[in-house]
Structure 1
């Protein structure tokens, strides 16, 4: 059994349990939700594995709720009736930190399920960042960068070969110490189960062949603002483009399983007259899913350096999302019709934000820094000055350049 590694989510869960009655942890299967929640719970019910516990929800709920708190209801969506009962318990007891629910799928909307506002805090949990898996030193803190602090870091400990493996293996807790061949087999089975088991369990009928074509199309679209109309051409295959409703339903299903994690368009005030592109940039919740769906490993990534750069970007964006969550911040992208773009804009509040370019090749840092400075010049001052401009790269020495742009090796970035 893989030893538990401390997660950034551990601290966040403690904080949430301190101010609200119930916390719902959402995220993809195998991201570590159950393991983390278990460490904070006094009583555990695994609803996906325990038919007796599912029966008690209706027949004798007091047998569930009469246990020491916090009480964990793992995979709550298997027995959705537990939601209203937990909500009622929170209302009746008027206490904090009573319940933890985990879910790897969001159930369909149910008019009988009451709002959890004021009772539930919803917390996302993604696969592990490089800092959590021990592959980043965390010397360069995202929080401190957004506070305007100057920092240094050395990312040379993370070799190029190891970085490639981190893209292919991903941040799944079960795979942190796995070799590449074992990880690829695990990921192949993971995708198969998603298509053949998890999606049908949601109660929606989907053609497995079309689903696989969509997943492969998304894998080819990582880091790009690919529209649904383009995806429809791949999903339909030889029969022509799939219907828009079909593609939208498929994308919604993947979102409900927390497998996709797109970057929405950042919409600041701009002096530039260039039309902003508002299509979301496509990402999976973990960079490993792209190579897995395309059937490539480290050698295959090396054969296409442009694609490798996009999959590296997916890894960086995943880590930024994990670190940004501790700040209650969001990660967006920015692109205009003239081809100008910023890979990640991290927004903490209405006037506190930072912009980051992602470059696999350290030789491209000068070009990326110049692009960020042009971007800064185009932002209306009503948006506020950026707290940080940074180029996140694969290796090397991190620090602040004379032009005010931070260089951040991914092996030095942390929360």
Structure 2
């Protein structure tokens, strides 16, 4: 049974106009249980605003006041940097990695009476903390806003409820194909939710440019070629939501005869750097059980943290997407996976995908902490629901044949449906604009 976290207690630093996030309660609960929480995620996804809403004091390590005097204080006297009303926010902790160990020790000494929230938009490669923080600092991944958080989903269908046996029955907010185009291009960045498309799309383009020209080298002070980074980002966008091999990426990156040959080690290093700044995530393959005779593809799928990034890289516009529904479908899958990853994390579940040696592939497998699992296919239009349902039922039959527990539910998540319901074959049909945690 998936439990519902307790209601968070708001701190004194809450920002005017703060929109609650799905993970608020989960973060608060983990802070109570562990003493400290580290909120990780890409830049501009709202980590600091969420942390402030749950904190009573803060120190920002990227504050330019006094020539970054907060960083100097943290380096010279980590204990002083932790002084303040609790919960204490330490923003961009990775700028002074020794603070991780200081927080861990403070939680230990106080018996979890002193509580902390750390935020970070990169994982430090050098000068790593001495202690993992296990049992004292819990990591939580934040992503850009989901449709539910942005007010674009009715929230009538709960992922938690589906795992607990509820039958989906509710209306979605109205959503046209043109609406979905705009949502994919704008993305879930909090700062652009009320902007017009022309202006909102600039953020994603700027974000991609900054990753190529600065962020990927600054994360660990290792010089990387902006042109190679740009070509890798384009390959990842072109192969969005697919288990692309390194060989495929190298082929994409060297397709032009003027481009120099690349080694596997170089591409792997660039991929690792992209993961450290949370621009891409690996969606692992799902195995039904340890002793299953089914041979599965264990290669991960590379997933952009927000659909606006691959849309910007590919130069997507509403007109282009409407003229290329195949590409639109992959970007829509990216949007849905973003939301599913957020909803799953709030319920301590994991998102994976399935593909075996018979080429049976299912877009998302959600596995809860108690071992229950569900399979979901993601389709842009309702006309694809029949084939998607057949795929899901085929997976169910295959799993039951090898002794795996039956799924908690099977679902087709679609873009344009107006109502959630259960088909005669038992497969749920759920519009993404009706889904919530």
Deviation at residue 247 of structure 1 after TM alignment? 0.4
Deviation at residue 197 of structure 1 after TM alignment? 2.2
In 2: Cα distance, 1:258 partner to 1:270 partner: 30
- Structure 1 residues 268-279: aligned runs within 5 Å: 268-269=288-289, 275-279=295-299
Deviation at residue 226 of structure 1 after TM alignment? 0.8
Deviation at residue 155 of structure 1 after TM alignment? 2.2
Equivalent of 1:169 in 162, 181, 186: 186
Larger CA deviation: 113-122 vs 248-257 = 113-122
- Structure 1 residues 29-48: aligned runs within 5 Å: 29-48=43-62
Equivalent of 2:246 in 228, 253, 270: 228
Whether 2:401 is the aligned partner of 1:383: answer: no
Instruction: Kindly indicate whether the alpha-carbon contact (under 8 Å) linking 1:232 and 1:247 is maintained by their aligned counterparts in 2.
Output: yes
Equivalent position of 1:69 in the other structure: 86
TM-score by length of 2: 0.91
In 2: Cα distance, 1:271 partner to 1:364 partner: 34
Deviation at residue 40 of structure 1 after TM alignment? 1.0
Instruction: Kindly indicate whether the alpha-carbon contact (under 8 Å) linking 2:350 and 2:368 is maintained by their aligned counterparts in 1.
Output: yes
Deviation at residue 308 of structure 1 after TM alignment? 0.7
In 2: Cα distance, 1:314 partner to 1:352 partner: 24
Whether 2:233 is the aligned partner of 1:204: answer: no
Equivalent position of 1:397 in the other structure: 419
In 1: Cα distance, 2:290 partner to 2:356 partner: 11
In 2: Cα distance, 1:343 partner to 1:364 partner: 14
In 1: Cα distance, 2:316 partner to 2:405 partner: 43
In 2: Cα distance, 1:119 partner to 1:349 partner: 20
- Structure 1 residues 175-194: aligned runs within 5 Å: 175-194=192-211
- Structure 1 residues 121-132: aligned runs within 5 Å: 121-132=138-149
Deviation at residue 412 of structure 1 after TM alignment? 0.4
Equivalent of 1:154 in 154, 163, 171: 171
Structure 2: unaligned runs, 5 residues or longer: 1-14
- SS state at 1:8 partner: coil
In 2: Cα distance, 1:151 partner to 1:173 partner: 29
Whether 2:154 is the aligned partner of 1:133: answer: no
Equivalent of 1:22 in 23, 36, 46: 36
In 1: Cα distance, 2:405 partner to 2:299 partner: 24
Q: 1:122 to 1:273 in 2, by over 3 A?
A: closer
Runs of 4 or more, structure 1, over 6 Å off, are 270-274
Q: 1:271 to 1:255 in 2, by over 3 A?
A: closer
Equivalent pairs, count = 415
Whether 2:429 is the aligned partner of 1:407: answer: yes
Equivalent position of 1:360 in the other structure: 380
Larger CA deviation: 98-107 vs 379-388 = 379-388
Instruction: Kindly indicate whether the alpha-carbon contact (under 8 Å) linking 1:350 and 1:383 is maintained by their aligned counterparts in 2.
Output: no
**What per-residue deviation string (whole Å, max 9, x for no partner) do you get for residues 288-313 of structure 1?**
11111111122121121111111111
Q: 1:298 to 1:262 in 2, by over 3 A?
A: farther
In 1: Cα distance, 2:347 partner to 2:114 partner: 21
- SS state at 2:223 partner: coil
Whether 2:324 is the aligned partner of 1:304: answer: yes
Larger CA deviation: 374-383 vs 320-329 = 374-383
Instruction: Kindly indicate whether the alpha-carbon contact (under 8 Å) linking 2:123 and 2:276 is maintained by their aligned counterparts in 1.
Output: yes
Q: 1:135 to 1:47 in 2, by over 3 A?
A: same
- SS state at 1:382 partner: coil
Instruction: Kindly indicate whether the alpha-carbon contact (under 8 Å) linking 1:155 and 1:412 is maintained by their aligned counterparts in 2.
Output: yes
Equivalent position of 1:215 in the other structure: 233
Instruction: Kindly indicate whether the alpha-carbon contact (under 8 Å) linking 1:266 and 1:345 is maintained by their aligned counterparts in 2.
Output: yes
Whether 2:310 is the aligned partner of 1:290: answer: yes
- Structure 1 residues 30-109: aligned runs within 5 Å: 30-50=44-64, 51-96=68-113, 98-108=115-125
In 1: Cα distance, 2:129 partner to 2:27 partner: 28
Deviation at residue 282 of structure 1 after TM alignment? 2.1
